[in-house]
Chains A and B, each alone.
Chain A
Amino acid sequence: DGGITQSPKYLFRKEGQNVTLSCEQNLNHDAMYWYRQDPGQGLRLIYYSQIVNDFQKGDIAEGYSVSREKKESFPLTVTSAQKNPTAFYLCASGPIGGYEKLFFGSGTQLSVL
């Protein structure tokens, strides 16, 4: 089955620790995105990538880092510089094109210990 796989489903971070969220897609999509969602809020864009080895900051990139070494993979690292990391993180992918929808993974809930 084609789709987007995010792991882990739940993740706990200790103070001062970096953690990495995994996102893998087998839809052959060029573009991949990371969004953050806080309770009762919409999705805010962290980083996005339209091609391998290239990515751009979204609206709330501070405290996060990404890489795009393979078309299928777009991991997100939440660094210790992100002081309020507790949120629901969603990875999405889609074809390049103005009329195309996004496909979402099942999400990772990150909490601080």
Chain B
Amino acid sequence: QKEVEQNSGPLSVPEGAIASLNCTYSDRGSQSFFWYRQYSGKSPELIMSIYSNGDKEDGRFTAQLNKASQYVSLLIRDSQPSDSATYLCAVRPSYGNNRLAFGKGNQVVVIP
């Protein structure tokens, strides 16, 4: 079982719509969860972090965490062409000396 899984393929959304991304993780003891955005050929940049069950909102981004079901999601409201990127889910497992485990990412394409 992979530590972090992001299974859905490329997501195309019209401009102004909501993009929804999901991520599941295997280590029930994980405490820290992050969403990074990565443009092609660039390094990842942190857009959201979440540590407690529930929703956390920051501008057009909302992260949702459900530890009982071991999933974390990201909603992008009012999607803009500049949101077109790959979104990486990252989890800090309870083992493993402070490292982050990453999913393979979900590509989002916002269509004007």
Q: How far is the CA of A33 from the CA of B98 in the complex (A)?
A: 10
Label chain B's interface by main secondary structure: loop
Chain B residues closer than 8 Å to A106, beta-carbon distance: 42-43
* Given known contacts A98-B31, A98-B32, A107-B43, A42 and B103 CB-to-CB distance under 8 angstroms: yes
A42 touches B88 (CB 8 A): yes
> Which residue on B lies nearest to A49, using beta carbons?
B97
A105 touches B43 (CB 8 A): yes
Q: How large is the interface on A (under 10, 10 to 19, 20 to 34, 35 or more residues)?
A: 20 to 34
A99 touches B32 (CB 8 A): yes
* Given known contacts A48-B99, A98-B98, A40 and B43 CB-to-CB distance under 8 angstroms: no
> Could you jot down 29 A-B contacts, CB within 8 Å?
A33-B100, A40-B104, A41-B104, A42-B4, A42-B6, A42-B105, A43-B44, A43-B88, A44-B102, A45-B99, A88-B41, A90-B44, A94-B98, A97-B98, A98-B32, A98-B92, A98-B98, A99-B31, A99-B32, A101-B34, A101-B46, A102-B90, A104-B44, A104-B45, A106-B42, A106-B43, A107-B41, A107-B42, A109-B41
